[in-house]
């Protein structure tokens, strides 16, 4: 009997050691099918989860929406998913862009010429996936088409007529939305008639037809949730405004989903950041973890600030994102696992980060929130800084002050990318993964964000744009960026290194940095730390 107990004890000890060894090796295995292969949508999110110990399996770049193949290849992505599930046997969860699986990519959802039957058939593939893998955790996000204010077809990211009529469609749809919600004045009614007359009939019919199809596809996706095909579904409202076609369709989908389980469904602002949020949710579920998040805003508009490209106050978006990532909002700092400080503007208006108003002198509001960050850091409370006073980049004044006060690498997470919701959502997802990330990796993630959002977006992007413009004038080559990509990337990397040496000297990991322009445009870059 004694021999039996000894053997049993040794077996239990061995199994325990094996279990924890595997946990240390990999916290979980997640399939991730992003909305396209932009760095923020794909690589940065994957890198975060991998640094947290997860194995993340992603389709090859060539199958996803990207330069030269903006619409992606949904049929091959489905084939890849089938083969991947067979190869791996078991995964802990799948975070998946519905746009990629149905249209091929986010751009594909805006520009496709596909029949509704084809799109519905692809959506129906999710039923077969559930039948084959009844225990698979499936987290899906889908988009409502954006309503751009500016002409935006350059590079094929919108239908061609958006090159001349984007603003007309925006004004038309915003007035239609307002008419349905509040009613219009006589002047607004005349404006509605005038702007409708400016849009060519064929362009209007194409725009309406495509949006109607996408609306019905989103309803079909909601039906899949109600049939328990998904474990969680998020409908993301791409760039929009308080009155816009995107907002209008969001209201229609809310009504359609009124009886849907609200513990499994959200219809929220944003889209590019939702992949990161759902990856965090999948990771939290694997760990059976529900992080408590505290939020504080600058004086003035604060949480009521409605940023550009959004339709709701940022505090509403904050709470929605906490829920999306599997966390819980708390008003108690003592209960918080993470504190997020949000650099909002006093009057609630944000400007482009590349504008002349983005000066290195901090505002009163920025000074106050840095002081708050210092206080929390001194109490060993994990602090994240969400920088939304400017869009498409950091607040130079805030960053200069954080550099001066030497807290850049004392933060847990930072977000100042693109739209306010992009910044908030990506940082939220990263922040929830920080308990599983080493100090060195945390600093690398922070350095990446500072180089991307402060160095590049708020500063170098403008310099690089002027560099390209000068080269076009010198050479007569209107496609200078495309034809001399490596030369431009080398110039961008030089500027990045100079900025880093001047402003990020406190970076503790002392590694080489460079950048790439994977989408052959200056809108975004890929920061690489070697």
Cα(115)–Cα(213) distance, integer angstroms: 9
pLDDT of res. 15: 34
Per the structure block, which two tokens stand in for 297? 């805003």
Per the structure block, which two tokens stand in for 237? 């409202």
CB 357 within 8 A of CB 351: yes
Cα(20)–Cα(167) distance, integer angstroms: 57
pLDDT of res. 511: 87
Q: For the segment 247-256, what is each residue's pLDDT rounded down to a tens digit?
A: 999 999 999 9
Residues whose CB is less than 8 angstroms from the CB of residue 398 and which lie 6 or more positions away in sequence, other chains included: 343, 362, 363, 366, 369, 370, 385, 387, 389
Cα(422)–Cα(40) distance, integer angstroms: 9
Other CB atoms within 10 Å distance of the CB of residue 407: 17
Cα(362)–Cα(385) distance, integer angstroms: 15
pLDDT of res. 10: 41
Cα(129)–Cα(251) distance, integer angstroms: 30
Per the structure block, which two tokens stand in for 239? 């760039």
| Crossing angle (nearest 10°) for helices 439-449 and 43-51 | 160
pLDDT of res. 268: 96
Name the helix (H) or strand (E) containing 17. Answer: helix 2-25
Residue with tokens 């940095």: 513
Burial of 97 (0-12, 13-18, 19+ CB in 10 A): buried
Cα(160)–Cα(163) distance, integer angstroms: 6
First-to-last C-alpha distance (Å) of the chain: 58
pLDDT of res. 19: 34
pLDDT of res. 67: 92
Q: Is 1 helix (H, G, I), strand (E, B) or coil?
A: coil
pLDDT of res. 159: 87
Per the structure block, which two tokens stand in for 68? 């030269």
CA angle 72, 326, 245 (to 5 degrees): 50
Burial of 426 (0-12, 13-18, 19+ CB in 10 A): buried
Three-state secondary structure string covering 296-339 = EECCCCHHHCCCCCCCCCHHHHHHHHHHHCCCEECCCHHHCCEE
Per the structure block, which two tokens stand in for 306? 């409605």
- Ranges of the chain whose pLDDT falls below 70: 1-26, 151-154
pLDDT of res. 154: 64
pLDDT of res. 54: 97
Cα(139)–Cα(196) distance, integer angstroms: 39
Per the structure block, which two tokens stand in for 18? 């094996």
Cα(405)–Cα(419) distance, integer angstroms: 26
Other CB atoms within 10 Å distance of the CB of residue 439: 10
pLDDT of res. 150: 80
Give the chain's domains with CATH numbers. Answer: 26-288 (3.40.50), 293-529 (no CATH)
pLDDT of res. 26: 42
DSSP string, 52-104: TTEEEE---GGGSSBTTBTT--HHHHHHHHHHHHHHHS--SEEEEEHHHHHTS
Other CB atoms within 10 Å distance of the CB of residue 96: 25
The backbone torsions φ and ψ at residue 473, rounded to the nearest 5 degrees and listed phi first, read -65, -40
Per the structure block, which two tokens stand in for 234? 């998020």
Overall residue count recorded for the chain in this entry: 530
pLDDT of res. 151: 67
pLDDT of res. 152: 64
Residues whose CB is less than 8 angstroms from the CB of residue 280 and which lie 6 or more positions away in sequence, other chains included: 325, 326, 428, 429, 430, 432, 433
Cα(145)–Cα(194) distance, integer angstroms: 24
Other CB atoms within 10 Å distance of the CB of residue 409: 18
CB 99 within 8 A of CB 108: yes
């Amino acid at each position: 009997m004694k021999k039996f107990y000894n053997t049993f004890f040794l077996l239990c000890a061995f199994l325990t050691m094996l279990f924890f060894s595997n946990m240390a090796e990999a916290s979980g295995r997640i399939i991730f099918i992003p909305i396209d292969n932009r760095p923020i949508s794909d690589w940065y999110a994957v890198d975060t989860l991998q640094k947290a110990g997860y194995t993340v399996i992603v389709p090859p770049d060539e199958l996803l929406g990207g330069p030269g193949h903006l619409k992606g290849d949904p049929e091959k992505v489905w084939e890849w998913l089938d083969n991947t599930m067979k190869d791996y046997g078991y995964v802990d969860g799948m975070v998946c862009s519905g746009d990629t699986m149905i249209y091929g990519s986010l751009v594909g959802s805006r520009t496709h010429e596909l029949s509704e039957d084809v799109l519905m058939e692809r959506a129906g593939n999710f039923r077969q996936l559930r039948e084959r893998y009844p225990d698979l955790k499936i987290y899906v996000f889908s988009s409502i088409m954006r309503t751009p204010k500016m002409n935006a077809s350059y590079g094929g990211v919108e239908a061609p007529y958006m090159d001349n009529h984007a603003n007309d469609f925006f004004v038309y749809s915003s007035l239609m939305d307002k008419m349905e919600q509040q009613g219009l004045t006589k002047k607004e009614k005349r404006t509605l008639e005038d702007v409708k007359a400016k849009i060519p009939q064929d362009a209007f019919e194409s725009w309406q037809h495509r949006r109607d199809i996408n609306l019905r596809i989103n309803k079909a996706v909601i039906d899949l949730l109600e049939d328990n095909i998904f474990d969680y579904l998020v409908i993301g409202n791409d760039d929009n405004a308080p009155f816009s076609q995107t907002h209008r369709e969001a209201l229609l989908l809310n009504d359609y989903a009124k009886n849907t389980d609200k513990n499994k469904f959200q219809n929220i602002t944003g889209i590019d950041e939702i992949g990161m949020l759902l990856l965090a949710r999948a990771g939290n579920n694997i760990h059976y973890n529900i992080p408590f998040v505290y939020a504080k805003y600058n004086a003035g508009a604060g949480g009521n600030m409605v940023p550009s490209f959004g339709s709701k106050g940022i505090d509403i978006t904050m709470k929605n994102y906490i829920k999306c990532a599997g966390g819980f909002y708390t008003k108690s700092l003592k209960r918080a696992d993470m504190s997020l400080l949000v650099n909002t503007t006093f009057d609630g208006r944000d400007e482009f980060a590349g504008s002349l108003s983005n000066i290195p002198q901090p505002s009163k509001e920025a000074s106050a929130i840095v002081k708050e960050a210092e206080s929390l850091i001194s109490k060993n409370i994990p602090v994240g800084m969400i920088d939304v006073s400017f869009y498409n980049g950091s607040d130079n004044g805030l960053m200069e002050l954080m550099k001066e006060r030497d807290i850049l690498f004392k933060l847990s997470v930072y977000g100042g990318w693109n739209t306010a919701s992009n910044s908030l959502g990506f940082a939220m997802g990263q922040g929830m993964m920080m308990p599983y990330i080493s100090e060195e990796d945390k600093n690398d993630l922070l350095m990446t964000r500072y180089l991307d959002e402060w160095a590049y977006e708020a500063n170098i992007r403008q310099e690089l744009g002027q560099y390209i413009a000068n080269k076009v004038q010198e050479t007569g080559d209107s496609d200078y960026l495309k034809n001399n990509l490596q030369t431009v990337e080398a110039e961008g990397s030089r500027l990045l290194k100079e900025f880093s040496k001047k402003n990020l000297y406190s970076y503790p990991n002392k590694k080489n940095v460079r950048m790439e322009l994977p989408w052959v445009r200056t809108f975004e870059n890929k920061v690489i730390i070697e």
